[in-house]
Amino acid sequence: MAFNGHQCDDESIDEDETPTKQPRSNKEMPGCFINEPKNEAAASAGRATSDRRTSNSTARQRSDSVKKTRPPFPWFGMDIGGTLVKLVYFEPKDITAEEEQEEVENLKSIRRYLTSNTAYGKTGIRDVHLELQDLTLCGRTGNLHFIRFPTHDLPAFLQMGRNKHFSSLHTTLCATGGGAYKFEADFRTMADLQLHKLDELDCLIRGVLYIDSVVSSGPSECYYFENPTDPDRCIQRPYTLENPYPLLLVNIGSGVSILAVYSESNYKRVTGTSLGGGTFLGLCCLLTGCSTFEEALEMASQGESTRVDKLVRDIYGGDYERFGLPGWAVASSFGNMMSKDKRESVSKEDLARATLVTITNNIGSITRMCALNENIERVVFVGNFLRVNTLSMKLLAYAMDYWSKGQLKALFLQHEGYFGAVGALLELLHPS
């Protein structure tokens, strides 16, 4: 406990205090209605003094035993998925001069490296707009940073950890996701790091509930689309997840997991599908020659899926009234591509769009069936497939609303892909 000079300070909690709104980017979120002027530099600089304490949820989690077991810095949570590694890092901002002195050089260097950059190497990115400032965690106040990089660059990350002598800090690295298992040996041999492996769904749920609770009074972590079936009036609105249970949690990463959550500890994985974000990107790469998610999405935003898909009206000239199918509904995804002429007339953008629509709608219909089978009316969609992907979010919102005749509500969360990593961090601080 050498680096752990401070104990949790329960007395400092003021539950009535309203946390400040934290800045978010609206640059990457075209559908967002968060209009605060944003300055990235200001965001990353943070504030020296905190007026932000904690929320009721953190208070609930805190206990005396936690004080004693507060782990040494640095505090990381990691989620190693099939495509992306998600890393959350808690940067303490309440470091005293005494602490500063005691802080070993390695720790300082890591902190500086992570907080003074927004990009790491060629592919690592810090999602500055998601940063949570003045957060009190385990009695310490600081900022929570959200960082991601492709799983295939994990070796480079491990190399960096080795170069920065990460292992000398004797920290526990809490990690979840399949990669925590797959790369456990690599962490040990390449970086001399021992992973504490955690179940990804446990972490996911813990993360979702935590993040939602800590930002519940600011611009809502959770939001939905009002008038989802009317493109002109469809706007993003905050949503309060006060009594979240039961809820269906749909995590769209490379693949998709669908969980029915009845309480923080009571959940089940209902089903999953292999048609997920990985499928979208994989097919787009094959069909268009693109190589990144951003490229694929950019193309999709410019394409027209109706040239690729066969719609009900393409077959019936209008609605298929016998079965209540509207003419605009897709009868056969990629159905027009059975014809050679049409294959030759579509653009890459059209194909990207059709791929996006196909994958998204399919997730929508499986989700809807699960919601019916489980008798749950609220669905929360998370996962990095939704990152900067308003197209899919609006499609999901539309599909849930239209096909359920307004019974189902699609909800989204600002920190869409990071909940597993947050859950892993929480496990470090409050072992369950």
User: Where along the sequence are the contacts to other proteins (CB under 8 A)?
Assistant: 81-83, 177-179, 181-184, 199, 201, 253-255, 269, 271, 273-279, 281-287, 289-291, 308-310, 312, 314-316, 320, 322-323, 329-341, 343, 351, 358, 361-362, 365-366, 369-370, 372-373
- Smaller CB distance to other proteins: residue 223 or 293? 293
Q: How far is the CB of 249 from other proteins (least distance, A)?
A: 15
Q: Which residues contact 225 (CB under 8 A, 6 or more apart)?
A: 31, 234, 235, 236, 237, 393, 394, 397, 410
Q: How far is the CB of 411 from other proteins (least distance, A)?
A: 21
Q: Helices (DSSP H) in 56-199: which residue ranges?
A: 56-61, 64-69, 97-102, 105-116, 154-163, 178-182, 184-191
d(CA 339, CA 80): 41
d(CA 276, CA 267): 21
At residue 287, φ and ψ (nearest 5 deg) are -85, -30
* CB neighbour class for 152 (10 Å; exposed up to 12, middle 13-18, buried from 19): exposed
Active site residue 17: no
Helix, strand, coil percentages (3-state) for the chain, rounded to 5, are: 45, 20, 35
Q: How far is the CB of 272 from other proteins (least distance, A)?
A: 8
CA dihedral (69, 74, 77, 80) positive or negative: negative
- Smaller CB distance to other proteins: residue 22 or 355? 355
Q: How far is the CB of 286 from other proteins (least distance, A)?
A: 5
d(CA 334, CA 429): 48
- Smaller CB distance to other proteins: residue 242 or 323? 323
Under DSSP, the state recorded for 215 is: T
Q: Rounded to the nearest 5 degrees, what angle is found at the Cα of 374, between the Cα atoms of 371 and 378?
A: 45
d(CA 251, CA 393): 13
3-class state of residue 155 by DSSP: helix
From the list 91, 200, 221, 416, the catalytic residue is 200
390 close to 31: Cβ distance less than 8 angstroms: yes
- Smaller CB distance to other proteins: residue 47 or 342? 342
- Smaller CB distance to other proteins: residue 170 or 269? 269
Q: How far is the CB of 241 from other proteins (least distance, A)?
A: 25
- Smaller CB distance to other proteins: residue 5 or 406? 406
Q: How far is the CB of 14 from other proteins (least distance, A)?
A: 39
- Smaller CB distance to other proteins: residue 340 or 405? 340
What would the DSSP string read from start to end of 338-379? GSHHHHHH--HHHHHHHHHHHHHHHHHHHHHHHHHHHT--EE
Closest CA to 252 of 349, 356, 125: 356
Q: How far is the CB of 394 from other proteins (least distance, A)?
A: 18
Catalytic residue numbers, as ranges:
200
